[in-house]
Structure 1
């Protein structure tokens, strides 16, 4: 429904109230939702999208999606998938891919999945076939002896960043399908970081490389 994006925990309101002036002053634009115009828009969206329908927002985002995808294994109903999806929305990725179980815990996504294209793949082979047809390399994020540092790897512009299950990491099937496996450099005592955090670090590395990267002067 138009207004069920999560509200702040402190009870304060976000967004805007009903469109000032009543129906007579409503914009003559199909992107606007009559319900939101009448009742207000309290969703967690950018100001430019206030009162827009979900479909209109998605259509606008589709005009400038980044060519990076995110895939995450869902073998044990991973609670981190929602967090990964929310980060993927922030980067406006081309797609999110859930590998394994079709149903996933959407709570952490804070309904941001509505503004993304979410795909399901029953297993690693299906994801690998889908990516191969589109010439998209699978790039895993995980630890292990075969992993190379994320910080030194030249991430492709068009690719699929693959996140493993919280705890065990990438399955052997998905790991073997990856062109490379990248490890996030750590200096503490834990073996790995949270899957949601790993996705955020990996996507930010992609943004730094392909959005803000400045080539050195000759």
Structure 2
């Protein structure tokens, strides 16, 4: 296995040949190369241009995460939300969260902070967006048999305790991911990936 120093660099080097015309190109990236974690179509694009282009096709599903204990899994949730091109990510509770796991993908998302569950409920209510809680609790339904709303907020709890009673009470529906092993719950980041992929299978245009 090659060492870190022997592995090929990520991304692309400086642009070869005459520079392309257009305001979406970033002169610094064209000159120095683009090593960001972006798909090829956005190589050498300015950050603002990438966000603007993503805004044209964002899916109407929002992702909300309760952040009472500075959960490091939030970064993974955010990265998955970026991959799905979710409308926005909502952080409920503490504003600060561990961004390392997001791999800089949070820069391409819209992030909304809510000091508590009541604020998220009010925000979603004003826009007619139902809250769909994802948690393995008594009374929840299997997500595999549920039809997710096309426009909604998928709400996730922090690792360990899961969603608070206030969040569960505010949800229009509570779904769980069916498990067959001995563990009571799965990683919050993995749960978000499964739930968002379920939304994609049901609603995204795969053409």
Q: TM-score, normalised by structure 1?
A: 0.90
Counterpart in the other structure of 1:83:
76
Match 2:32 to one of 32, 39, 52 = 39
Matched, 1:12 2:8: yes
**How big is each residue's C-alpha offset from its partner over 1:71-107, in whole Å with a ceiling of 9 and x where there is no partner?**
0000000000000000000000000000000000000
Counterpart in the other structure of 1:143:
136
CA deviation after TM superposition for structure 1 residue 145, in Å:
1.2
CA RMSD of aligned residues (A): 1.4
Matched, 1:177 2:173: no
The 3 A distance-change label for structure 1 pair 83 and 10 is farther
Measured in 2, the distance between the counterparts of 1:9 and 1:197 equals: 31
Counterpart in the other structure of 1:96:
89
CA deviation after TM superposition for structure 1 residue 12, in Å:
2.8
Matched, 1:72 2:72: no
Match 2:152 to one of 159, 167, 171 = 159
**How big is each residue's C-alpha offset from its partner over 1:138-179, in whole Å with a ceiling of 9 and x where there is no partner?**
000001112011011110000000000110000011111100
CA deviation after TM superposition for structure 1 residue 212, in Å:
6.2
Which stretches in structure 1 are left out of the alignment for 5+ residues? Answer: 1-7, 214-218
Counterpart in the other structure of 1:200:
193
Secondary structure in 2 matching 1:185: coil
CA deviation after TM superposition for structure 1 residue 211, in Å:
2.2
Q: How does 1:102-121 map to 2 (within 5 A)?
A: 102-121=95-114
The 3 A distance-change label for structure 1 pair 9 and 81 is farther
